[in-house]
Amino acid sequence: MVNSVDGENELADIVWAKDPSVVFLVETWVHEARLKNVLRKIKFENFFFVPRTSKGGGLVLFWRTTIDVTVEGSGKNYIDAIINKDQENGWRFTGFYGEPVIERRLECWNLLRSLDQKFQIPWLCVEDFNELIRGNEKREGNRRSHNQMQLFQDAINECGFFDLGYMDLKFTWRKHYASGQSIWERLDIALCTNDWLQQFGDTKVHHLNCITSDHVPLWIVLNGFDPPLISKPFTFEEIWLTDMGCD
């Protein structure tokens, strides 16, 4: 989303409209200087990034000063942070990126298992896992291997995760081919532990529309989490006019 000017503008529009306190992006494909520009554009104050490799990738976590974020660890597949560290209401946020190469996906699930051992606090783990939990989360294209999904499900169960589900659109990724065929899948997921769910019991996960990326953004609204409100002036963005639904 941030590897083009249009992508940056659309991200800024989403941030303005939804007012999140934390933003996590995968496959940034850009360098630190570009991420600093995005930081200014979305009017956030802090960021932590994992650099892209020669073949792409890259992760970044943006957050406002109104929320207490401590980054505890990172790698090419994750950024691990604690919200309100050493406080009674502290919890863990992990932004995760599953391996796009099927043969290396088991490494990711073992990484999840090792991350599970690091802290014993409420845990929210989100984003692009590049895998399905259930076969009906895919439309068109080759059917996903049961064994392939089972490896992911095993890791989810061992970490004590629950799928927070979603509202609005069913699929979070799509690919359109010149032949006219299209494939849709739900690859972007919000997982949480039981103690996190007890703390934020009525959390809603929304799948938002997006025109500059093949993935849709997840907007996670945490019940019971109320960061200070920020007064924002209204600004019109020209990119809105490219959306057919813009009146």
- Looking at residue 232, its pLDDT comes to 46
The residues with which 127 forms a beta bridge, in sequence order, are 96, 189
Q: Which residue has the tokens 């600004």?
A: 235
Helix (H) or strand (E) holding 153: helix 146-158
For residues 245 and 247, give the distance between their C-alpha atoms in angstroms, rounded to a whole number.
Answer: 6
pLDDT tens per residue, the chain (247 residues)? Answer: 677 899 999 999 999 999 999 999 999 988 899 999 999 999 999 999 999 886 678 999 999 999 999 999 999 999 999 999 999 999 999 999 999 999 999 999 999 999 999 999 999 999 999 999 999 999 999 999 999 999 999 999 999 999 999 998 899 999 999 888 999 999 999 999 999 999 998 999 999 999 999 999 999 999 865 444 444 444 555 555 655 555 5
Largest CA distance in the chain: 55
- For 226, other C-beta atoms within 10 Å of its C-beta total 8
- Given a contact cutoff of 8 angstroms between Cβ atoms, the answer to whether 183 and 140 are in contact is yes
pLDDT value of residue 236: 54
The closest alpha carbon to 127, from 87, 84, 81, belongs to 81
The length of the chain, given as a count of residues: 247
Q: Please give the sequence-ordered ranges of beta strands (E in DSSP) within the chain, or none if there are none.
A: 22-26, 46-50, 59-63, 69-75, 78-83, 91-97, 123-128, 138-139, 161-163, 167-168, 173-176, 182-185, 188-193, 204-207, 218-221
pLDDT of the residue at 134: 94
- Cα separation of 109 and 99, whole Å? 10
Strand partners, 81: 71, 93
The predicted pLDDT at position 245 comes to 56
Task: Give which of 128, 102, 203 is closest to 162, Cα–Cα.
Answer: 203
CA gap 242, 156 in Å, rounded: 39
Strands of the 218-221 sheet, one edge to the other: 167-168, 204-207, 218-221
Superfamily of domain 67-227: Endonuclease/exonuclease/phosphatase (3.60.10.10)
